[in-house]
Amino acid sequence: MKQNAQTPTGLDVYKIRQDFPIFSRKLKNGKPVAYLDSAATSQRPRQVVEAMEKYFFECNANIHRGVYQISEEATAAYESARQKVAKFINAQSSREIIFTRNATEAINLVAYTWGRQNISQGDLIVLTIMEHHSNIVPWQILAKEKGARIEYVDIDEKGYLRLDQYTNLLQQAPKLVSFTHVSNVLGTINPVKQMVKQAKEAGATVLVDAAQSAPHMAVDVQDIGCDFLAISGHKMLGPTGIGCLYGKRELLEQMPPFLGGGDMILKVTLNGASWNELPWKYEAGTPAIAEAIGLGAAIDYLNRIGMENIHAHEKMITEYALEALSEIDNLTIYGPPLSDRSGVISVTIPGVHPHDLATIVDRDGIALRAGHHCCMPLMDRLDIAATARISFYMYTIPEEIDRFVESLKKAKEIFEK
């Protein structure tokens, strides 16, 4: 067992963990969970749940149309959450923030509105091989409907995007370019700003999937320069059922609505309807009010800790884990070196299927993810069926990495004896 790494990052991780009741829980084996699956969903601090509880218990009402006090309070809380998101990603206006169910729905919203309006037969859509299914399948559906084609930017041996190939594809004047900021399998942090700049120069509309980046590092949409950006609430301490689409105002104004229904209209007659102004044009029906408020509280929490501190802590943990894993024989680590890697490490061991590994470490109370991580094209590219993936957050401690490494050794012994 290694000695505990100190956190030179100004972040008191042990104090932070006290905000997360789940870490005090004992599992069936009497141990606390070593939660190494934050890329799938983060844990939630007390403050987020309390903010949601406050809405339920103190001002539970539908929003926007009630003229009574608690409805006005609920509306204010919901809209204040939108402003927090806008500020968090430095959008020009909170009108550019649309609440969705998750990042997947945010991408689908663009595919079904902007995509249907702007993509035609023969048009090119550029994606990358490292995309999550949520940034592939909506475009495949659109491409099939419109007769458009899709090209995928490949990765190199280190897990970086092949930017030479990207540059070449841009010369074919794609209508849309959509890629992830951070790979949920390789941990690669893509050079988004440069990639967006190139795509814009080529005349493309650009979507950035920030589901894996916004929770872990400062994301500034004006600096990045993208047209759309998708965010997932539950990966950044918020509840499930809430995500956001950022869209440049002029684009959101031009696009047709997504779902039709209440709240997204200005006026409805038997012959038709006119649309509400932004952002409500894209929010049909009663939204996830408590969840939006919870996301707002999550953003408050992240701001209080500081995104720079979070990023630095995760980098320290990732370095610690990479070093510990490098001492294990016969282990393949995927993805780029530390300098360009987020807190995600995928590994495989010959002879030990990732699912068997996950089951064995589960008995030691370690929660990790084994499988294709919703990236089947990337698995095919790497010529593997699955990986075992550990992923970190601001609350991950070196002891959890130690527990994982010990358990991993045990799994190797079982299969290699």
Partner 1 sequence: MSDDLYREYILDHYKNPRNFGRLEHATISHEEGNPLCGDVVGIDILLDKDNNVADVKFHGRGCAISQASASILTEKIKGMNIEQVKAITKDDLLEELGIEVSATRLKCALLSLKVLKAGIYGISTWPDEEEE
Q: Which residues have a catalytic role annotated?
A: 374
192 contributes a contact to partner 1 by CB under 8 A: no
Count H helices and E strands in the chain, helices first. Answer: 15, 15
H or E element in which residue 149 lies: strand 149-153
417 contributes a contact to partner 1 by CB under 8 A: yes
415 contributes a contact to partner 1 by CB under 8 A: yes
Nearer to partner 1, 27 or 385 (CB): 385
54 contributes a contact to partner 1 by CB under 8 A: no
CA distance 23 to 17: 7
158 contributes a contact to partner 1 by CB under 8 A: no
Nearer to partner 1, 358 or 394 (CB): 358
Q: Which two tokens stand for residue 270?
A: 């038997």
Nearer to partner 1, 315 or 372 (CB): 372
Which residue type sits at 116?
R
CA distance 284 to 276: 10
Whether omega before 279 lies within 30 degrees of 0, making that bond cis, reads yes
330 contributes a contact to partner 1 by CB under 8 A: no
**Which of 32, 225, 262, 371 is close enough to bind partner 1 by CB under 8 A?**
371
Residue 388 CB, shortest distance to partner 1, in Å, is: 11
Residues 379-408: x/- map of binding to partner 1 (CB under 8 A)?
Answer: x-----xx----------------------
323, 109 contact by CB (below 8 A): no
372 contributes a contact to partner 1 by CB under 8 A: yes
Q: How many degrees, rounded to 5, is the angle at CA 66 between CA 60 and CA 70? A: 35
Q: What is the DSSP letter of 252?
A: H
355 contributes a contact to partner 1 by CB under 8 A: yes
359 contributes a contact to partner 1 by CB under 8 A: yes
222 contributes a contact to partner 1 by CB under 8 A: no
Of 191, 217, 19, 216, the residue nearest 208 (C-alpha): 191
Nearer to partner 1, 36 or 204 (CB): 36
Residue 411 CB, shortest distance to partner 1, in Å, is: 8
354 contributes a contact to partner 1 by CB under 8 A: yes
Q: Which stretch binds partner 1 (CB under 8 A): 60-68, 136-144, 339-347, 368-376?
A: 368-376
DSSP states along 51-89: HHHHHHHHS---SSS--SHHHHHHHHHHHHHHHHHHHHT
Which residue type sits at 406?
E
115 contributes a contact to partner 1 by CB under 8 A: no
Q: How many degrees, rounded to 5, is the angle at CA 308 between CA 302 and CA 314? A: 85
- Sign of the Cα torsion 222, 248, 132, 359 reads positive
Nearer to partner 1, 142 or 366 (CB): 366
Residues that bind partner 1 (CB under 8 A): 353-356, 359-360, 362-363, 370-372, 379, 385-386, 410, 413-415, 417
